[in-house]
Amino acid sequence: MKRLVNICSVFLLGAGLAAQSAVAETLLLKRELSRAPAFELKTPYGDTVRYPKDALGNPTVLMFWPSWCPYSRALQPYVEDIWTDYLDAGVNVWTISIKETGDPVATMQERGLNFPLLLDGDPLLDTYLITRTPWLIVIDGQQKIVYTRPSNPPTPIHVAKDVRRVLNSLLGDKSVPMPASFPLPYDLHLKDKSELVDRTAPEPIPTEQWVAWVDQYIAHLKPEERRADIAPRGPLKNGKAALALAKSLWAEAYGVAELRAQAPYRAFFRKDHWIVMGQGLDRQLGQGLVLAVRADSGQVIRMSRGDQ
């Protein structure tokens, strides 16, 4: 019998009374999964990811989520930061859409997310004993599950810190320093009402408007223009690498606090250039941090605040 979703919290067995469902959940949670099962899933681009083969013996973070779940949405920016921060350390991060009623690719675009996405993960609900969303686990290089997100964490920040600590324990001398601060989560997760702040976000800017702005931005770049004070970083094969470079340079130049205030970020490949932009809550076209870099050499052309 298929499990049904109880809005972002617990997958229940059947459709019986609440007491029967509670018993079913208890039985599910008593089942322990110590080793991550193998799987094959497609990316939005049609490529196949095969676990554990494609993990290459490195630590792996898996996050299972549907686009309608607010708890998943609140955790996603922290998973995005983990993905970019641990990229150079070889950590794999795959997010997997499950129980989907919408379009996860469009959802990621609307939220300014760039982490790797795998589609149609429902066949893994049973093999991974998934009972709630978001379901997040950390796996070591030998397929051993070493962390599972608890059922009721105080905030997504607590989850992010736990995941980073576990990854660092696995990485040893490749560990990544803990951020000096974390952006506040959605009010949905806050247990202390004193932490509540006004975070009403405007509607996201459609992708076609960003593309038009990027084309105009590139048109104003001078052929001889480049940042001579920043050495070329080598070829940037994809948006993931371009985003990681931008965040590293921005943090160094403007500070971690301003970097995090610029989230979410967008990256576009146009005319042999990667253009990476910070949006922030204002989501004003071109008013955040901007990085223009050549894809073939990693040579930074321009790095600025807004339209400078």
The whole-number pLDDT of residue 203 equals 55
Amino acid identity at 5: V
Number of H helices, E strands in the chain: 8, 13
Q: How far is CA 304 from the centre of its chain?
A: 24
Task: Name the strand (E) or helix (H) holding 118.
Answer: strand 117-118
Alpha carbon distance 12, 97 (integer Å)? 18
DSSP state for residue 67 in the 8-state scheme:
T
224 contact partners, CB below 8 Å, separation of at least 6: none
The pairing of strands 92-97 and 117-118 is parallel
Burial of 80 (0-12, 13-18, 19+ CB in 10 A): buried
pTM of the model: 0.59
The whole-number pLDDT of residue 299 equals 95
Neighbour tally for 138: CB within 10 Å: 25
The whole-number pLDDT of residue 115 equals 92
The pairing of strands 10-13 and 60-65 is unpaired
| Tens digit of pLDDT at every position of the chain (308 positions) | 334 344 465 543 333 333 343 444 444 444 568 899 999 999 998 999 999 999 999 999 999 999 999 889 999 999 999 999 999 899 999 999 999 988 999 898 888 888 999 999 999 999 999 999 999 999 999 999 999 999 888 889 999 999 999 999 999 999 999 988 887 776 555 444 444 444 344 455 677 788 888 888 888 899 899 999 999 989 998 888 888 898 889 888 888 767 767 776 788 888 889 999 887 555 567 778 899 999 999 999 999 876 45
Residue carrying the six token digits 């809005």: 7
Q: How far is CA 136 from the centre of its chain?
A: 12
Closest CA to 139 of 233, 61, 47, 227: 61
Burial of 5 (0-12, 13-18, 19+ CB in 10 A): middle
